[in-house]
Amino acid sequence: MKRFIIPLIAAFAIPTAVNAGVDPEVHKICKEVNDYMGCVKANSTSKSLLFKEPNKKIKNKFFTTNDQIKVENWKKENFDPSKQASVGYIYAWADDDSGIYAIKVFSSGAAGKAGLKESSLITYIDDQKLSEADAETVNKLYLGGRKLTGIYKGKNFTKTLKDFSVLNKKGMKEFDYYMAQTLRLESGLEGDVDYIVLPEIKENIKKNLYDYYAEKRAEYLESLKDFTIFEGKKILASRLCPQNENMYWMNETYRGETTIKEIGCMTKKENETYWRKRTKEYTTFNGKKYTASIICPEGENMRWQKVPKFLGGYNLEEIGCMSEKEHNDYWVNQKIINQRNRELQQRQTMQDLQNFLEETSRRNEESRKERNRIQENHNRWVEQFNRDQQNYQQQQELNRSLDKLNKSVDSINNKMWGY
């Protein structure tokens, strides 16, 4: 990403902020301590630069004595425009890379004397098109270029920087304030962002500048949140606790599963008092005492429900820690669920009955067909048997007739031949 650069120098040399705005001296003391943030809070007194109240002579809350000191240190380590000549303006890349915007023009600087206006879009420097140049080339043109061409409020302009000069007292006040805001925003602290990101061009440099500072702020706020380690994982607090308070957690075990839950932000003394007051709840059912498996957070109580035993009767089982409203809502939802289950069961029963009747009817029909088939087979067998009997009787009659005939023939032969 082509991002903005601090004016007047070839490299952006802002000193690295120690742990998101923590004073370096305090950081040296606390860097080896396990409870880093607790150590920082304990060692950050009213004399600490980080938490010093704003200078009463400076009305703006974003320019405190601490900010002044940081700016002076930055100038000593990097660049002091009251002692070294410069172009006298700051730029930020346009999100569409069409050029650079002059986001700050200092009084008495070369750019200010040439009439360059803040929020001007510079598209050419010394007749070189910036949209076609890389960041390093643009930086060199910015530091040494004199002819600025671009657009301001819809109109084209050309400005020529003459003598590069140091900033006067007024210009230095503007520079110091700008640097203070830049250092604040870079560290994730609150700052006068509208002074850095001009509202009229905010949408044009949103990606390269405004969103960058928003990410820094989010990272800083996230770094201030308390955390704990549970089952080897870092658990971050859901919110940032007020000064002198920390987030406290408690373990919950339900049906063999242990989870972690926030109690809330409180001082160490409040936390000790909290635990002294908390005892496990219990209830009695059928002469048996049931003790809760966990201590519920303040405002909640352990809730129970009856569950049937395998061989008859009931036991009590934990539902969980709930407020009165959560408990009422639970049973309302449970009644709805039970009603739905009953309706589903009734529908299933009716469907099962319908399936049973249909299956019974189908089987009866198959039985009827089978009986008919057996009866038909029986009738065919009886008919065949009767036919066979009739044929047998006819054959017997024929055999008797043949026997009679044979006897008659034998008698005739005997008579004829004299046997």
For 286, the token pair is 């059928």
Each residue's pLDDT, cut to its tens digit, for the chain (419 residues) gives 454 444 433 333 333 333 334 555 555 556 555 455 555 555 554 333 333 333 334 446 788 888 999 999 999 999 899 998 889 999 999 999 999 999 999 988 999 999 999 999 999 999 999 999 998 999 999 999 999 999 999 999 999 998 898 999 999 999 999 999 999 999 888 888 888 888 999 999 988 888 988 899 888 888 888 888 988 998 888 888 888 899 998 888 877 788 888 889 999 888 887 776 666 778 888 888 888 888 787 778 888 888 888 777 888 888 888 888 988 888 888 888 888 888 888 889 899 999 999 999 999 999 999 999 999 999 999 899 888 889 888 888 888 888 888 888 888 888 787 65
Nearest alpha-carbon partner for 101 in 92, 89, 109: 92
CB atoms closer than 10 angstroms to residue 196? 21
CB atoms closer than 10 angstroms to residue 13? 11
**Alpha-helix residue ranges (DSSP H) falling in 254-323:** 268-277
CB atoms closer than 10 angstroms to residue 258? 11
User: Sign of dihedral through CA atoms 351, 357, 360, 364?
Assistant: negative
CB atoms closer than 10 angstroms to residue 110? 23
